[in-house]
Amino acid sequence: MKQSQLTRLVKFGFFVLLLTSLGFGHAHIFIDYKVHACVDANGLDGVFVNWTFDRMFTQFIQKEFDKNNDQKLNKEEQKAIYQKFCADYEKNEFFTVIKVNGKKYSVPKPIKFSARIMKEHETVAYTFFLPLKLKATKKKTDVQVYFFDPVIYVAFTVMPKDVSIQNKAQNIQASIRLKKVKYTNCPTISIKTDS
């Protein structure tokens, strides 16, 4: 193979690599999420989740649901969003993954849902609770709750500062951390009883 042919081949390869790199950065909606785990005397009661949508998609939500155009989402408007949200959850679990010690678990319907327009950033945020009701045992249990869209239509982001935990139990040790799995970061909650 001549030098020029080799150069061309390298250029071609570089270009293919570049295009492949682009191949999976294909998001249309960006969601920053936060996870707050709640531990009670029985174990992990559930997690509060906060999703903040990007400004562009926020406009879409506002246009669709803020019917009186007052830049606020009242109870009726929030109910309409919740109904749509639950329907999506039933259809595709809305990209929610729950794993207990590495085993996949069913995804519960979100409850305690609220939606609000945050004026300072002109974004819409959804908050909801995922009831888990997982009992703590003497053996450490790792619970992963994360959001991931395999086709990256929606890009979920979670940062270390966005995970927190509230422990109301005297006899349970609980912690939360951000763990890197193969393709994303996932908030991981560890619980175990003292005795």
Partner 1 sequence: MKLIPFSLLLFILFSISFGVTDTQTTTQDESATSTVAPEQPASEEADDFSNPFTQEAGISEEGAEKQTIKPSDKKEKKPPFWYKYNFGKKYVTTLQKTLNVKVSQLVHEFKENMSFGKAFWVFIICFIYAILHTGGPGHGKLILGTYFLTDDSKRKKSDAAIAGIIVSLTHNGMAVLLSGLLYLFIHSFGDQRHMQEVAKRIGGIFVIVTGIVIMLTTLFRDKIKFFDEKKSAEKLKKYPLYIIAILSGIVPCPLAWTVLVLCITIGLYWLGLLAVFGMALGAGLTVGTTGYIILAGKEKLFSFVNKDRAEFFAHILRFCGGLFLVVFGYLMTQVV
Q: C-beta of 91: minimal distance to partner 1 in Å? A: 8
What's the burial of 24, exposed, middle or buried (CB within 10 Å: 0-12/13-18/19+)?
A: exposed
Among 19, 120, 138, 195, binds partner 1 (CB under 8 A): 19
Among 6, 92, 137, 140, binds partner 1 (CB under 8 A): 92
Can residue 3 be called a binding residue for partner 1 (CB under 8 A)? Answer: no
SS3 158: coil
Q: C-beta of 12: minimal distance to partner 1 in Å? A: 6
| Subset of 110-149 contacting partner 1 (CB under 8 A) | 111-114, 116, 122, 125, 127-129, 131-134
Q: What is the CA radius of gyration of the chain?
A: 21
Can residue 70 be called a binding residue for partner 1 (CB under 8 A)? Answer: no
Q: How many residues does the chain have?
A: 195
Among 94, 141, 142, 173, binds partner 1 (CB under 8 A): 173
Among 2, 3, 4, 75, binds partner 1 (CB under 8 A): 75
Q: C-beta of 152: minimal distance to partner 1 in Å? A: 7
* CB contact set of 24 (below 8 Å; sequence gap of 6+): 152
Strand partners for 171: none
Angstrom distance (rounded) from CA 38 to CA 48 = 8
